[in-house]
Amino acid sequence: MKNFLVHNDDVIREMCAEIGVEKVEYLFKQIPTKAQMQSLDLPEAVSEMEVQRKIKSLAKKNKTDFISFLGGGYYNKFVPACISQVAQRFEFNTAYTPYQPEISQGTLQVMYEFQTMMCRLTGMDVANATVYDAATACAEAILMAVRIKKIDKVLVSNDLNPEYKNVIKTYTDANSIKVEWFDEIPANTSEYSCVLIQTPNFYGEIVEVKPTNTLLVICTDVSTLSILKPIECDIMVGDVQTLGIPVSFGGPTAGFMACKEKYMRQLPGRLAGRTVDAEGNQAFTLTIQTREQHIKREKATSNICSNQALIGLCSTVYLSVMGEKGFKQAGYLSTKQAHKLSEKLKQKGIKTLNNNFFNEFVIEVPDSDKFLSKLKENNILGGIKLDGNKVLVAATEMISDEDIDLYISSI
In this predicted model, which residue has the larger pLDDT, 127 or 285? Answer: 127
Q: Which CATH number do you get for residue 154?
A: 3.40.640.10
Residues 347 and 224 in one domain: no
Maximum distance among all alpha carbons in the chain?
Answer: 75
* Residue 272 covered by a domain: yes
- Structural domain for 373, as ranges: 67-79+324-410
pLDDT value at residue 91: 72
Whether 102 and 220 map to the same domain: the answer is yes
Question: Three-class SS of residue 215?
Answer: strand
pLDDT mean over 340-356: 96
**Rg (Cα) of the chain, in Å, rounded?**
25
Secondary-structure percent of the chain, ordered helix, strand, coil, rounded to 5: 40, 15, 45
One-letter identity of residue 100: Q
The pLDDT of 278-282, averaged and rounded, is 92
Asked whether the predicted pLDDT for residue 140 surpasses 70, the reply is: yes
Residues 211 and 359 in one domain: no
Could you tell me the pTM of the whole model? 0.85
Same domain (yes/no): 120, 72: no
pLDDT at 80: 96
Is residue 182 in some structural domain?
A: yes
Q: Considering only CA atoms, which of 331, 357, 326, 322 is closest in space to residue 342?
A: 357
Residue 35 lies in a domain: no
Band (407; pLDDT cuts 50, 70, 90): very high
Q: Strands 215-221 and 178-182, how do they pair? A: unpaired
Same domain, 376 and 261: no
Please check whether residues 333 and 302 belong to one and the same domain: no
* Phi and psi angles of residue 317, each rounded to the nearest 5 degrees, phi first: -65, -40
Query: Are 292 and 213 contained in the same domain?
Result: yes
Q: Specify if 26 maps to a domain.
A: no
Report yes or no: 187 and 210 within 8 Å, Cβ to Cβ. no
Strands 126-127 and 153-157, bridge-based pairing = unpaired
User: Is 259 found in the same domain as 188?
Assistant: yes
Task: Answer yes or no: is 224 within a domain.
Answer: yes
Number of domains in the chain: 2
Tens of pLDDT, residue by residue over 22-61, are: 888 888 888 998 888 878 888 888 999 999 999 999 999 9
Question: Considering the domain boundaries, does residue 238 fall inside one?
Answer: yes
Alpha helices in 39-132 (DSSP H): 48-59, 82-87, 105-122
276 pairs with which residues across the strands? 282
Q: Is residue 1 part of a domain?
A: no
- Tell whether 389 and 249 lie within a shared domain: no
Give yes or no: residues 75 and 210 share one domain: no
Residue 228 sits in the same domain as residue 110: yes
Q: pLDDT-derived band of residue 237, with 50, 70 and 90 as boundaries?
A: very high
Average pLDDT over residues 301-306: 62
Of the three residues 283, 317, 351, the one that is the final residue of a domain is 317
Is pLDDT above 90 for 150?
Answer: yes
**pLDDT tens figures, 61-118:** 988 889 999 999 999 999 999 999 998 887 776 544 555 555 677 888 899 999 999 9
Question: Nearest CA to 238 among 93, 128, 400?
Answer: 128
Is the domain of 264 the same as that of 365?
no
Contact 271, 288 (CB under 8 A): yes
Q: Which of 293, 317, 341 is the last residue of a domain?
A: 317
Coil, strand, or helix at residue 332?
helix
Residue 36 in any domain: the answer is no
* Whether 362 contacts 383, CB under 8 Å: no
Q: Which of 287, 317, 347 is the last residue of a domain?
A: 317
What pLDDT, on the 0 to 100 scale, is given for residue 295? 61
What's the CATH code of the domain at 392?
3.90.1150.10
Angle formed by the axes of helices 309-347 and 105-122, nearest 10°: 30
